[in-house]
Amino acid sequence: MDDGSDLAIISGSGKLPFLIKNRYKNAISFSFTKLEKETENKFVKCEFEKLGFLFDSLKKNRIRRVVMAGAINRPKFDKSKLDDYTLSIMSKLSTKLVKGDNELLSFIADEFEKNGYQIIGAAEILPNLILKPGLLCGTPYEFITRDIKKADKILNLLSPEDIGQGVIIENGLVLGIETLQGTNELLKFVARTASHLRQDDKSGIFVKRPKVNQNLRFDMPVIGPETIKLAFEAGLRGLVVSPHSVLIIDKETCVEIAEANNFFILAEETTN
């Protein structure tokens, strides 16, 4: 029986690391940030400057599998604290830090695999969080196909530059593009858009999809109640995501918030 005793959770912010921990209580959490709930003796605090300590700890705890879960801020390195391992990869790592998330995370995942660890996706552990094709709730507006096509065209153009996973379209016009600041900041930005630039018929959508060639094992987009709340507060009518490629946290709560605000959630493949 798989009790998760050989599993390390590289834990960032948000609820996902704790959902995985609830599934595998014998798994060990490794975190570079202070978690909201540090779990007894199954928690190891790490530093970006001491990656050698991380790999030594994985070996000491007989870890074989690694799952990355939750958002982790881009590190700022104190060069005076670098251990030998981190120093040995610092040149390559520095070039990745000025690239997009996909390239940076791919480099980090490669380091785990070079050291003999298997990377598994959060979706493999919690398949019930994956959104399947179709309308989860609500009713799309008349011109949604037009707006989805516009969003997908933009995301396909941005994807090679590893910029972001989301774009907001309203009545065929672009209101915002997700960048390094992330989903929540994008939605807050759109909420502050001057009224004379907006339509008043609530016909905007937020389209969130993985980038082309994005490795979903360690970087699968996640939505949750906060996403839905910020989206309708930004005056949008709905959310469109790629099926089988996005995790939804607290699905029932998401649906409750959406239905209470005449907001739809649709899982549909890209149009381009």
* Mean pLDDT (whole number) for 224-237: 95
Check whether 226 has a pLDDT greater than 70.
yes
Neighbouring residues of 170: CB distance < 8 A, sequence distance ≥ 6: 147, 198, 199, 203, 204, 205, 235, 236
Lowest-confidence segment of 18-27, 91-100, 219-228, 249-258 by average pLDDT: 91-100
**What residues pair up with 11 in beta bridges, in sequence order?**
31, 69
Residue 201's pLDDT is what? 67
Do the bridges between strand 28-31 and strand 7-11 make them parallel or antiparallel, or are there none, so unpaired? parallel
Give the pLDDT score at 41.
56
Q: At what angle do helices 84-97 and 51-60 cross, to 10 degrees?
A: 120
66 Cα distance to chain centroid: 17
Measured in degrees and rounded to the nearest 5, phi and psi for residue 226 equal: -65, -35
Q: Tokens 């490794």 belong to which residue?
A: 30
pLDDT digits (tens, 9 = 90+) for 63-77: 999 999 888 777 788
114 vs 38, residue with greater confidence = 114
Task: Read off the pLDDT of each residue in 97-122 and give the average, rounded to a whole number.
Answer: 87
pLDDT band at residue 35, thresholds of 50, 70 and 90? Answer: low
Joined together, the tokens standing for residue 85 give 């391992």
Residue percentage of the chain with pLDDT more than 70: 96
Across the range 23-27, mean pLDDT stands at 92
Q: What is the pLDDT of residue 270?
A: 87
pTM of the model as a whole: 0.86
Res 159: pLDDT: 85
What is the average per-residue pLDDT within 250-267? 96
For residues 197 and 5, give the distance between their C-alpha atoms in angstroms, rounded to a whole number: 54
Distance CA 231, CA 234 (A): 5
Kindly give the residue spans of alpha helices, DSSP state H, lying in the chain.
Answer: 16-23, 51-60, 84-97, 101-114, 122-125, 144-158, 183-191, 225-233, 251-260
- Give me the sign of the Cα torsion angle 36, 42, 46, 51: negative
| DSSP for residue 74 | P
The owner of tokens 């016009």 is 173
Q: How far, CA to CA in Å, does 239 sit from each of 3, 46, 65?
A: 36, 36, 33
> What pLDDT is stored for residue 55 in this prediction?
94
pLDDT given at position 142: 87
> Rounded mean pLDDT of the chain?
89
Pairing of strands 238-241, 43-45: unpaired
How far apart (Å, rounded) are the C-alpha atoms in residues 145 and 162?
25
- Report whether pLDDT(39) > 70: no
Mean pLDDT lowest among 5-14, 38-47, 108-117, 222-231: 38-47
Please determine, for residue 40, whether its predicted confidence score (pLDDT) is greater than 70.
no
Q: What is the pLDDT of residues 189-220, one digit of tens each?
A: 999 998 888 877 678 999 999 888 788 887 88
User: Measuring CA to CA, how many Å separate 99 from each of 23, 160, 224?
Assistant: 33, 11, 27
117-138: pLDDT as tens digits: 999 999 999 999 999 999 999 9
pLDDT of residue 197: 85
Q: Kindly report the backbone phi and psi dihedral angles of residue 58, in degrees, each rounded to the nearest multiple of 5, phi listed first.
A: -60, -45
How far is C-alpha 174 from the chain's CA centre?
22
Compute CA distances 164 → 100, 161, 167, 210, 242, whole Å. Answer: 8, 9, 8, 9, 15
